[in-house]
């Protein structure tokens, strides 16, 4: 049952026989269950988007954004010209050299309009795609990357400043709650080891320095 004032809650269940643990220890791990729930919600939203457009995607790009992303500047869609590719920055954060250069960050994906419908079925693919490669991925980031490869979708890792974002949160500092930017520090801003943005674009305190 569900409250009369709203729709039923969205749930996700992990199959009993699954070996697709996405780097988690077991199928009951909350992070795995919550991640599948996220994928389900993304697919449901995409279905509603297509339903409003007679089942056809009218978009040149689809930007999938994590809910704690804080944009520092505009992105230029002209920087992502291939309608058959997906773009992200490497694993890690703006201004910081990636330790795993071939792994994508999962915070923001810029997906070409021609392949968005295939990639945004990641929840269904988890259950229905028989490829054994998906059973051996060790992280959620690698799941997306391997799935794209299986679907014939090119993945391009771009310079960090082409996607000028960081993550954000609220933190309790003394008796106050402070909105702060995480994934960077003032020291990193002063001496970046990767493509960065001008420090003037960081208009909130950095969590690392509170």
pLDDT at 1: 47
C-alpha–C-alpha distance, residues 74 and 173, integer Å: 30
Rounded to an integer, the average pLDDT of 187-200 is 96
3-state SS string for the chain: CCCCCCCCCCCCCCCCCCCCCCCCCCCCCHHHHHHHHHHHHHHHHHHHHHHCCCCCCCCCEEEEECCCEEECCCCCHHHCCCCCEEEECECCCCCCCCCCCCCECCCEEEEECCCHHHHCCHHHHHHHCCCHHHHCCCCHHHHHHHHHHHCCCEEEECCHHHCCEEEEEEEEECCEEEEEEECCCHHHHHCCCCCCCCHHHCCCCEHHHC
Whether the per-residue pLDDT at 56 is higher than 50: the answer is: yes
Whether the per-residue pLDDT at 50 is higher than 80: the answer is: yes
Rounded to an integer, the average pLDDT of 32-52 is 95
Rounded to an integer, the average pLDDT of 102-119 is 97
**pLDDT above 70 covers what percent of the chain?**
96
pTM: 0.92
Residue for token pair 């999938």:
64
């Amino acid at each position: 049952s569900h409250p009369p004032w709203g729709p039923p809650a969205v749930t996700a269940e992990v199959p009993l026989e699954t070996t697709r643990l996405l780097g988690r220890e077991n199928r009951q791990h909350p992070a795995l269950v919550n991640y599948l729930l996220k994928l389900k919600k993304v697919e449901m939203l995409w279905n509603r988007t297509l339903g409003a457009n007679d089942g056809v995607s009218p978009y040149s790009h689809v930007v999938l954004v994590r809910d704690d992303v804080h944009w520092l500047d505009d992105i230029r869609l002209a920087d992502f010209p291939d309608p058959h590719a997906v773009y992200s920055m490497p694993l890690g954060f703006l201004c910081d050299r990636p330790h795993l250069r071939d792994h994508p960050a999962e915070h923001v994906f810029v997906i070409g309009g021609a392949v968005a419908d295939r990639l945004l079925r990641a929840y269904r693919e988890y259950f229905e795609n028989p490829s054994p490669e998906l059973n051996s991925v060790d992280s959620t980031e690698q799941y997306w990357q391997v799935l794209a490869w299986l679907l014939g979708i090119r993945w391009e890792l771009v310079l960090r400043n082409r996607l000028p974002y960081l993550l954000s949160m609220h933190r309790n500092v003394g008796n106050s709650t402070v909105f702060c930017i995480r994934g960077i520090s003032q020291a990193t801003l002063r001496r970046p080891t990767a493509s960065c943005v001008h420090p003037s674009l960081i208009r909130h305190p950095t969590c690392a320095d509170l």
